[in-house]
Structure 1
Amino acid sequence: MIQLDILNQAKFLIIICFSFLIFTFTISMNKKNSLSKALGLAFILPFIICAYSSLFLDSTYTPYILWISETILSMAFLILILLKFNNKSYDAAIITIFIIGVCSYFILMEMHIIPLYLLSHRNQVFISAYIIIVNIGLMKYRKFPEKTFFLANIFLLASTLFSFFQNHNNGLIIAPGFSFMAYLTFYKYVYYETYNEHMSKIREINRLKKKIDRSVNKEVKKQLLHYEMAKEKLLIKSKTDSLTKAYNKETIINIIDEMIEFKKNEKFCVMMFDIDNFKYINDTFGHIIGDVCIKNLVSTTRNSIREKDLLGRFGGDEFVIVLPGIDVEEGKAVAERLRENVSLIREPEFTISIGISCYPQDGDTAKDLVSLADEGLYASKEKGKNMVSYAKVL
């Protein structure tokens, strides 16, 4: 009898401690209205029953208190499993737990009205086992996904069945052990469900964070690309002439200086040319036709020189070409080809005069080379226009 009291007290402590742990953990950690939260909150029932009995009931009722607490807990599980659970049914689940709690209070307070304690131990075990088996069957039938909760009910059923053999030492010892395993597994179920819920939120947050980071990075790269393109456009605009897209005067001079500075041993030719009688064209046909002449000249020039040759507009109708790797004779040949190609232009017709100079024999600065090429251009004008001249020979 003493051994029975000790084992009942051990089971009593298991129920009250684990019930309090599971309930407090649920209300403090599980913030989502879910079935796992409702099942965790149901553990308030055995805790209140055990706490109330320890304060107000005689210790002779301990076996009855243990039975009624686990039976009511299983009843709560049964109702919660039967509910088609969603956010709306969560309120119904809480009301159900409250109603079961109130009923439990009247069962304990008014024992003479509902004298369940008069049931034989055999019948008590039968009722508890029957409810637990129904729960297990429903979980199987509904394909209840939480295997840990299913296992906890198996342990609870084993504890109930072994408590039937209270007159056998093995049954006395094994029943509390299965009870401990049942409540420990219930706690694991509530803990892992809450943990998985938190991890799910963390994964969702990380997914959203990555999505935002990708969007931000994409937008930043897009803005950087726009910035670089705008910067490139500004840079090109600052270096080129708006009408012809050729290099402007400052840029072409800088290019010649850089070629002299960084490629001191490499020869190149400078060619300067303009449209013959361009003022007459502008005055007679208008500036629009004059711009057409300049555009046609630039187009023909690009088709007459190599891709690596550099074209610059010096101002008005005056242009400069830099021909890398070319000496004077080769420069004359390029100039003659250009002159002939320009003379074939129609609507309107015009010709050009050209002067050339060559590095390194004609100077060691851009100013010297351009000045000599300009002298050659002037000489071509003096000789009748539509010609190529090399001033140094003259």
Structure 2
Amino acid sequence: MDLDFNEALTELKESLLYRILPNRDESLLYQFHSNDYLNLATHDALVQAAISAMKDYGFGSTGSRLLSGNYGMLETLEKSLAHFLGMEKVLVFNSGFQLNSGVIPTLYGEGDLILADKYCHASLLDGMHLCNATMKRFQHNDMTHLKTLLMTHRSNFKRCLLVTESLFSMDGDVALLDVLQQFSYDYDTELMVDEAHAIGVLGDQGRGLCSQFGIKPTYLVGTFGKAMGTFGAFIATSNEISDYLINRCRAFIYTTALPVPVIAATNQAVSLIQSMDIQRQRLREISAYFTSMMSQKGLSLLGNYHILSLIYPGNRALLDRYSQLKDVGIAVSAIRHPTVPKGKERFRFSLKSSHTKADIDYVVEQF
């Protein structure tokens, strides 16, 4: 059946689901919509590393990793990350979405079972839908529901994968990683943990929540586009699985490698985050302060770390308030249904180590 694009767009507008690309407005003094948690995107060391790499190698990588794009600095990045995370091997991809949507279909398929947290990121869900495995989603952080699914279905499948984020991107809460790991032992499953919002910020030297809680997943996924301030993603796993992905993952094989200056800047970021305990402490303190000040106004924020959300039900009400906040210089993410459940529409505040108590006070005054 032919799709009427105009009709579809009209329906999106009428249901308040139509998206536009907002201009990056530097005049908004209070920026709470960026994932640059440690302010590394503008750090001089990263800028200089990128400039130096461009002078030596140019800008583009000129080809895929299997052709002309496998620069030594890219292999250095993978080795540094593997050592940092205590994993056998790291393989770098061009983005988190590319990784999640490409790796899962490479490793799992018909006859396999995937059990995923209800709040997993869209890239993980797309990877599951593409792989022809049987997928079931358990209620968010509900280990009783997950155990029921495992007891009911696990024995009917050859292999099983448990999928979760460590720090969830919408509610800002933490997965029950110790229980998930125990289930992976008890029911002979693999475990995939996406640490996109935790790497660099949480755990010893920013190693993430798996490291903090002593968890060794089969696959640890992370990104460079958040706390590290650059671009790209990685999967940390075994030598054998990494080698298999190099040979079988179409999303890895058939794409141009990351630009050289991005690789150089990311190497610098990996080095820097290990000595940024002061910035991580500031993030913890500013998060606690924000939660406390909103609580004094009778408002409850979701989240325990640097991602905090204020529930503001209804797409129309949310968008109207979003415009008002923008008018007073505040940039914040307005998360609508169906990205989140109906009635759970929200403002998501992404905190940075550079935020001050004065910044928080100004935001709190608007509510």
TM-score (norm 1): 0.18
Q: Which one has more relative contact order, counting CA pairs under 8 Å at least 6 apart?
A: 2
Instruction: Report which of the two has the higher share of strand.
Output: 2
TM-score (norm 2): 0.19
Instruction: Report which of the two has the higher share of helix.
Output: 1
Larger radius of gyration: 1
